[in-house]
Amino acid sequence: MDLREVEHDLGSLIDGNILTMESMKKHTSWRIGGPADIMVIPAGVEDIRQCLRFAREREIPLLIMGNGSNLLVKDKGIRGIVLKISQGFNQIGVRGNDIVAGAGALVPLVAKRAAEAGLSGLEFAAGIPASVGGAISMNAGAHGKCIEEVVRRATVLTPEGLIADLNKEEIGFRYRDSSIREKGLIVLRAVFALEPGDPADIRTRNETNLVKRRNSQPLEYPSAGSVFANPPGQWAGWLIEQVGGKGMRVGDAMVSEKHANFIVNLGEATASDILKLVERIKRLVLEKFNIDLKLEIQVVGE
């Protein structure tokens, strides 16, 4: 693939930004990852349509991403095009008791806007470092609640470039997952169904949840949140702690001393370091508990 040619030809079709050989360290919460051949930051829906068509016609691999808070990019980077849904889709509005938010809006900002409007229901999400699109795709959750509980519907773009409105059932929510990625859908915006409440009380619950997060998670280091999904009836962090995982280290990747289901980047960690640590943890938990831990993060690239 001739990157200059792709950049030129794609640039004639879209209004958004195009970056070549863009380091994914800048776009993931782990601050890890090699370069993406081409990164497109679309300005609107038509840019996404053009990018989908362009990639399909030229048979170029295409990866859709949001805030990069659940993503491990391998050290050689990503071949093809990365489509990052961000500032062109970050609008947040209030419609009655609903919040309407673009897929690129950050979930904590949506929760803050809901509090300002006196709308309750998103307090649990005040500290989730994801975009709305990513949070819906992975059914993000915290404090025993998840996005599924407050979504009324989502507007998506199909692989064919058609816009469709999906209700909660059609999104196909599962534990820390949905049918969005497997169907090749791109979330454009979502409507959250909330309840009227006292703004001061809602802000207090937001702050309480943020304090809990600061006290229980290693926010002083780059991470991707929970690395492993909780097995049925178990807590992944507890299992990892029981096999001596806390403080385990490969290079600059370390299992957090504060929360064993977090692997933190102490400074110069590579994706290879993270994956070696993941395999070591999986092996120890399998040997001791006969439980095969499943990743909650998405691993991409080469």
Catalytic residue among 22, 31, 178, 296: 296
Q: How deeply is 169 buried, as exposed, middle or buried, from its count of CB atoms within 10 A (0-12, 13-18, 19+)?
A: exposed
Is 296 one of the catalytic residues? yes
Query: CA-CA distances (angstroms) from residue 25 to 80, 219, 279?
Result: 17, 17, 22
- The yes-or-no answer to whether 90-216 and 236-300 have a common fold is no
Domain boundaries, the chain: 3-84, 90-216, 236-300
Asked about 226 being catalytic, the answer comes back as yes
53 pLDDT higher than 90: yes
What lies within 8 Å, CB to CB, of 208 at 6+ separation is none
Q: Give the pLDDT mean for 88-116.
A: 96
Contacts of residue 231, Cβ cutoff 8 Å, sequence gap at least 6: 239, 291, 293, 294
Kindly state the average pLDDT of the residues 112-132: 95
Residue tagged active-site, from 79, 113, 152, 176: 176
Please identify which of the residues 69, 178, 226, 256 carries the catalytic annotation.
226
Residue 96: pLDDT band (50, 70, 90) is very high
**Residue 41's pLDDT band (boundaries 50, 70, 90)?**
very high
What is the structure's pLDDT at 1? 76
Fold of 236-300: 3.90.78
Decide if 176 is catalytic.
yes
Amino acid identity at 56: R
CATH number attached to the domain at 3-84? 3.30.43.10
d(CA 225, CA 242): 20
pLDDT value at residue 2: 87
90-216 fold = 3.30.465
| Residue 105, pLDDT score | 97
Once rounded to an integer, what is the mean pLDDT over residues 37-63? 96
